[in-house]
C-alpha cells in the first residue's frame, strides 16, 4: 500500500475551491481586495472575502487565509447571511487543520456540519465530513475516518456526474483520493484517470498533484513502472514554473526520484532526491509531511546514500507522524549505526560537548551584561516617560484653566450685554411704541424699526456666545425665524431652506455657525432689497467630504464685473466671513439670471457629535 499522500495541501482544492469557489481559480489577491472595496452590499463583500481566503490558501499564506475567513464571517454576520457564515467557519477550520491543530479543526467542522443540516446545504455538509475524515486520518483514527468517507462518498459521486457549478475534474479527484484511502485501488485508478482526462482540465497545481498521486498508485499498487514514470515527469514539468509551489514540486520530484532509483539510475535519483529535499526544507516544518520524507528515504537507500537516508529519518522522527506504516525502509536505529560508523560519531560528540560548554559560559556572561544594560535603559526610559507625562499633565491643567477663564469672560460679557444694553434697548422700544400710539410722526416708527433690529441682532449674538457648538437643526430653526420676520412684513418672496436629514444632528463650532448665519442673514437682506426675486432658497447638503451651503435667488441678478452692484449685495462682508470660516466661496450671476452663492465647509471645521 502506498504511504500517506500529501493530504493537507490537497484538501483545500478538493473540498473548497471546487464548490463555492470554482469559478475563481487563482484570481489574484490584489484583484479580490479591489472587488471587496467596490462591493455595493455585504453579501457580495463577504463572498469576495471567502474567495480571498481561498486564494491565500493557494499561496500558502495561512495567517492571511484565516484573517480573510474571519472578515468574511464578520461581514456575513452583520448582514445576517448564515450560509456564508458557515462557509467562513469551514475555511477557518481548514486553517486549523493545515496548522496541525486537529482538535480545534474538528470542533469547527462539526459546527459546520450542524449548520449545514439546518440550512439544507448538503454540499457544505459533505465538505465538512471529508475534512473531519482527513483530520481523523492524521490522528490515526482510521475507522472513524473511513465511516465519514463512506457517508460523504455518495454525495460526491452524484456531483461528479452533474454540472453543479463544480469542476468535474476536481470531483473525480476527490473520489479517487477517497477510494485510495479506502484501499479500493482499481476504483481509485479509474477516478484518477477520469480526473486527469476531464474537460475542462484542472489547473496546473491540481493536475500535477493528481498525476503524482496516480504515479504512486501505479508504482506501488498497480506495478506499472513505465506509466508511473510518465506521470511523475509530467507532474514535475507542470508545477515547476510556479514560484510558490515548493511543497507540490517536492512531492512530484520525490516520486520521480524513487522511480529512477527503482530502475537503478543512481545518479539521477540522487540528484532528484537532493533537489526535492532542498525544496521541502524551504517550507515551515509544520507544513511538511512524512510521506514525502518516506519516499525520499526509500530512494536514498536504493542509491546507497545512507547519510542522507539517516538525515531524512531524523526528520521523520521529529514530525512524529505514524499514521501509515513505512514497510520498505530500514529502522532509524540501523541507519544511525551506519552513520556513526562513517563519521566516527563518538569523537565528534566529545568535541561538540566541549564547544557547547564554552558557548554556555560565554552566553552566561553576555546574559548578565545584557540584563544589566536592559535594566539601566529601562530605568532611564521610565524616568523620561514619567517627566514627559508630568509635563503634558501640567500643560493640560494650564489649558483647562485658560479655557475656564475664557468661558467665564464670555459669561460676564453676555450678562453685561443682556442686563445693560438689552434692557436699555427694550426700554427704548417700549417708549417708542407708546409714542407711536399717539401718532407723533413716521420718524418714531423708523427709530422703532432700528431698535427692534438691534434687539434681534443682540439676541443673535447672545445665541452664538451661549454655546460651544450649534447643531445644523438649531441653525435651520434660526434661519426660519429670520424668514418669518420677512414674511411678517409681507415680502412677496417664497423663502425656503432645505437640509439633508443626515446633517441635522451634525454640529458646528459656535463661531462657525455664527458666521454662517450672518452670511445667510446678509444674503437674505440683500435679496429683499435689490433682487426683485420671487423665490429665495438655501440648501445645506453633503458634497463629497465637505458640507455645501447654496444660497440662490431667481431675481434680476447683476454683472459680476460691476463693483457697485457687488457692494450692494454685501459681497465684501460675505467674502470676509467666508475667509474667517476657512470656507470655499464662489458666486454665479449675470443680468436677469439671479444669484447663486456656494460655500464649502471643510470637515475639520465641524464638531464631532
Q: Find the range with the poorest average confidence among 98-102, 227-231, 255-259, 569-573.
A: 569-573
pLDDT at 243 over 90: no
Q: Are 181 and 301 in the same domain?
A: no
Task: List, in sequence order, every beta strand (DSSP E) within 526-602.
Answer: 535-543, 546-553, 584-589, 595-601
62, 23 Cβ separation under 8 angstroms: no
- What's the pLDDT at 130? 81
266 shares a domain with 245:
yes
- Between 561 and 292, residue with greater pLDDT: 292
pLDDT of 346 reads 47
The partner residues of 595 in beta bridges, in order of sequence, read: 553, 589
Return the C-alpha cell found at 250: 517536492
User: What's the pLDDT at 17?
Assistant: 40
Q: Which percentage of the chain shows pLDDT scores above 90?
A: 16
Identify the band that residue 331 occupies on the pLDDT scale cut at 50, 70 and 90.
Answer: very low
Residue 364 has a pLDDT of 75
Are both 57 and 193 inside the same structural domain?
A: yes
Same domain, 170 and 250: no
Answer whether residue 299 is part of any domain: yes
Q: Is residue 278 part of a domain?
A: yes
Burial letters for 49-68: b for 16+ Cβ neighbours within 10 Å, e otherwise?
bbbbbbbbbbebbbebbbbb
Hey, is 19 helix, strand or coil?
coil
Q: Does residue 16 have a pLDDT over 60?
A: no
- Arithmetic mean of pLDDT, 299-324: 77
pLDDT of 462-491, one tens digit each?
666 667 788 899 889 899 988 888 887 777
Name the grid cell of 23: 469559478
Q: Do residues 110 and 131 make contact, with C-beta atoms less than 8 angstroms apart?
A: no
Higher pLDDT, 544 or 577: 577
What's residue 456's pLDDT? Answer: 63
Instruction: Supply the angle between the helices 42-58 and 62-78 in degrees, to the nearest 10.
Output: 170
Question: 160 pLDDT band (50/70/90 cuts)?
Answer: low
The mean pLDDT of 587-597, rounded to a whole number, is 89
Q: How many CA atoms lie within 13 A of 386 on its CB side?
A: 6
In a domain, 420, yes or no: no
Residues 482 and 548 in one domain: yes
What does the pLDDT look like over 400-409, one tens digit per residue? 666 665 665 5
CA angle 502, 508, 511 (to 5 degrees): 160
Q: 366 Cβ partners below 8 Å, 6+ apart?
A: none
Q: Is the pLDDT of residue 425 over 90?
A: no
Measured CA to CA, the distance from residue 61 to residue 46 in angstroms comes to: 19
What is the side-by-side order of every strand in the sheet holding 535-543?
A: 494-499, 535-543, 546-553, 595-601, 584-589
DSSP 220: I
Q: Which of these three, 289, 314, 329, is where a domain ends?
A: 329
pLDDT at res. 451: 64
What cell does 434 get?
A: 407708546
**Considering its fold, how many domains does the chain have in total?**
3
Residue 400 included in any domain: no
Q: Which domain holds residue 560?
A: 468-607
Tell me, yes or no, whether 417 lies in a domain: no
- Looking at per-residue confidence, does 97 or 25 come out higher? 97
What cell was used for 296?
525520499
Kindly report the CATH number assigned to the domain that includes residue 71: 1.25.40.10
Angstrom distance (rounded) from CA 108 to CA 118? 16
Q: For position 56, what pLDDT does the model report?
A: 87
Report whether pLDDT(383) > 80: no
Q: Is residue 150 part of a domain?
A: yes
Average confidence (pLDDT) over 333-338? 40
Establish if 482 belongs to a structural domain. Answer: yes
Give mean pLDDT, residues 92-107: 86
Question: What are residue 439's phi and psi, to 5 degrees?
Answer: 55, 50
Distance CA 296, CA 312 (A): 7
Give the pLDDT of residue 443: 59
Whether 161 and 186 map to the same domain: the answer is yes
Out of 307, 329, 351, pick the residue that ends a domain.
329
256 and 144 both lie in a single domain: no
Residues 240 and 158 in one domain: no
User: Which H/E stretch holds residue 114?
Assistant: helix 102-119
What would the DSSP string read from start to end of 575-597?
A: HHHHHHHT-EEEEEE-TTS-EEE
Place of cell 504511504: 3
Separation CA 410–CA 117 (nearest Å): 68
- CA 582 – CA 601 distance, rounded (Å): 7
223 in the same domain as 118? no
User: Which single residue is written with the C-alpha cell 560528540?
Assistant: 349
Rg of the chain's alpha carbons, rounded to an integer? 41
Does 605 score more than 60 pLDDT?
Answer: no
Task: Say if residues 88 and 76 touch (Cβ distance below 8 Å).
Answer: yes
Is 186 within the bounds of a domain? yes
Q: Do 196 and 234 reside in the same domain of the chain?
A: no
Q: How confident is the model at residue 89 (pLDDT cuts 50, 70, 90)?
A: very high
The per-residue DSSP string of 354-423 comes to: HHHHHHHHHHHHHHHHHHHHHHHHHHHHHHHHHHHHHHHHHHHHHHHHHHHHHHHHHHHHHHHIIIIIIH
For the record, the C-alpha cell of 309 comes out as 537516508
Query: Which strands, in side-by-side order, build the sheet including 606-607?
Result: 469-471, 507-509, 606-607
262 and 161, same domain (yes or no): no
**Are residues 216 and 188 part of one domain?**
no
Residue 476 to residues 71, 496, 504, Cα–Cα distance (Å): 41, 10, 9
Last residue of a domain, one of 168, 201, 234: 201
Amino acid at each position: 500500500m502506498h504511504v500517506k499522500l500529501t493530504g493537507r495541501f490537497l484538501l483545500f482544492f478538493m473540498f473548497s475551491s471546487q464548490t463555492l469557489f470554482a469559478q475563481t481559480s487563482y484570481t489574484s489577491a490584489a484583484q479580490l481586495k479591489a472587488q471587496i472595496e467596490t462591493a455595493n452590499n455585504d453579501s457580495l463583500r463577504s463572498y469576495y472575502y471567502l474567495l480571498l481566503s481561498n486564494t491565500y490558501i493557494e499561496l500558502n499564506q495561512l495567517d492571511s487565509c484565516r484573517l480573510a475567513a474571519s472578515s468574511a464571517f464578520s461581514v456575513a454576520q452583520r448582514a445576517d447571511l448564515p450560509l456564508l457564515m458557515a462557509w467562513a467557519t469551514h475555511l477557518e477550520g481548514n486553517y486549523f487543520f493545515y496548522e496541525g491543530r486537529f482538535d480545534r479543526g474538528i470542533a469547527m467542522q462539526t459546527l459546520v456540519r450542524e449548520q449545514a443540516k439546518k440550512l439544507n446545504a448538503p454540499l457544505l455538509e459533505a465538505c465538512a465530513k471529508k475534512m473531519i475524515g482527513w483530520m481523523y486520518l492524521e490522528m490515526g483514527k482510521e475507522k472513524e475516518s473511513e465511516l465519514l468517507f463512506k457517508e460523504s462518498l455518495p454525495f460526491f459521486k452524484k456531483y461528479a456526474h452533474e454540472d453543479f457549478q463544480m469542476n468535474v475534474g476536481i470531483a473525480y479527484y476527490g473520489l479517487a483520493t477517497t477510494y485510495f484511502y479506502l484501499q479500493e485501488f482499481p476504483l481509485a485508478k479509474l477516478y484518477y484517470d477520469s480526473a486527469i482526462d476531464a474537460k475542462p482540465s484542472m489547473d496546473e497545481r491540481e493536475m500535477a498533484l493528481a498525476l503524482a498521486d496516480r504515479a504512486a498508485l501505479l508504482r506501488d499498487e498497480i506495478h506499472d513502472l513505465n506509466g508511473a514514470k510518465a506521470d511523475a515527469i509530467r507532474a514535475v514539468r507542470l508545477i515547476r514554473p510556479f514560484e510558490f509551489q515548493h511543497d507540490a514540486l517536492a512531492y512530484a520530484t520525490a516520486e520521480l526520484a524513487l522511480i529512477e532509483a527503482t530502475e537503478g539510475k543512481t545518479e539521477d535519483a540522487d540528484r532528484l532526491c537532493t533537489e526535492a529535499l532542498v525544496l521541502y526544507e524551504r517550507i515551515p516544518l509544520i507544513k511538511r509531511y512524512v510521506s514525502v520524507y518516506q519516499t525520499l528515504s526509500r530512494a536514498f537507500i536504493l542509491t546507497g546514500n545512507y547519510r542522507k537516508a539517516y538525515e531524512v529519518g531524523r526528520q521523520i522522527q521529529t514530525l512524529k507522524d505514524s499514521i501509515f506504516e513505512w514497510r520498505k525502509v530500514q529502522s532509524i536505529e540501523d541507519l544511525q549505526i551506519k552513520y556513526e560508523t562513517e563519521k566516527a560519531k563518538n569523537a565528534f560528540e566529545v568535541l561538540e560537548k566541549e564547544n557547547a560548554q564554552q558557548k554556555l559560559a560565554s552566553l552566561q556572561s553576555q546574559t548578565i551584561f545584557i540584563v544589566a544594560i536592559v535594566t539601566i535603559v529601562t530605568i532611564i526610559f521610565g524616568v523620561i516617560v514619567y517627566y514627559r507625562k508630568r509635563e503634558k499633565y501640567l500643560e493640560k491643567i494650564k489649558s483647562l484653566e485658560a479655557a475656564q477663564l475664557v468661558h467665564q469672560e464670555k459669561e460676564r460679557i453676555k450678562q453685561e450685554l443682556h442686563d445693560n444694553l438689552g434692557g436699555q434697548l427694550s426700554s427704548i422700544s417700549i417708549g417708542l411704541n407708546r409714542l407711536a400710539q399717539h401718532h407723533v410722526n413716521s420718524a418714531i416708527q423708523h427709530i422703532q424699526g432700528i431698535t427692534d433690529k438691534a434687539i434681534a441682532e443682540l439676541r443673535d449674538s447672545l445665541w452664538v456666545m451661549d454655546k460651544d457648538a450649534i447643531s445644523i437643526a438649531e441653525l435651520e430653526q434660526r434661519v426660519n425665524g429670520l424668514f418669518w420676520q420677512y414674511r411678517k412684513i409681507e415680502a412677496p418672496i417664497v423663502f425656503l431652506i432645505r437640509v439633508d436629514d443626515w446633517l441635522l444632528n451634525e454640529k458646528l463650532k459656535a463661531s462657525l455657525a455664527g458666521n454662517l448665519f450672518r452670511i445667510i442673514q446678509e444674503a437674505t437682506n440683500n435679496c429683499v432689497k435689490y433682487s426683485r426675486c420671487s423665490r429665495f432658497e438655501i440648501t445645506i447638503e453633503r458634497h463629497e467630504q465637505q458640507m455645501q451651503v447654496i444660497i440662490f435667488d431667481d431675481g434680476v441678478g447683476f454683472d459680476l464685473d460691476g463693483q457697485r452692484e457687488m457692494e450692494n449685495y454685501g459681497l465684501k462682508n460675505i467674502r470676509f466671513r467666508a475667509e474667517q470660516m476657512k470656507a470655499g466661496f464662489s458666486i454665479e450671476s449675470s443680468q436677469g439670471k439671479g444669484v447663486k452663492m456656494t460655500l464649502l465647509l471643510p470637515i475639520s471645521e465641524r464638531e464631532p457629535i
